[in-house]
Amino acid sequence: MKKVVLKCLKNMSALSLGVAVLSANSPSMWFVHQPKEPKELDKLKKIR
């Protein structure tokens, strides 16, 4: 049981990191409102 929980937590953390990277590199879909991003997301942005 413990192995299953650890595997699920690893997958969830990888998914959350992927979502954070995607949101850091893309604008909001709402063109009227652009919410403020936390400063920690600047580390995940791609430098072009």
Residue of 12, 17, 41 lying closest to 27 (CA atoms): 41
The structure tokens listed for 11 are: 């997958």
What pLDDT shows up at residue 21?
81
User: Which tens digit of pLDDT belongs to each residue from 10-46?
Assistant: 999 999 988 888 777 777 666 666 667 778 777 777 6
Cα pseudo-dihedral 41, 28, 46, 43, rounded to 10: -10
Q: Confidence class of residue 48 from pLDDT cuts 50, 70 and 90?
A: low
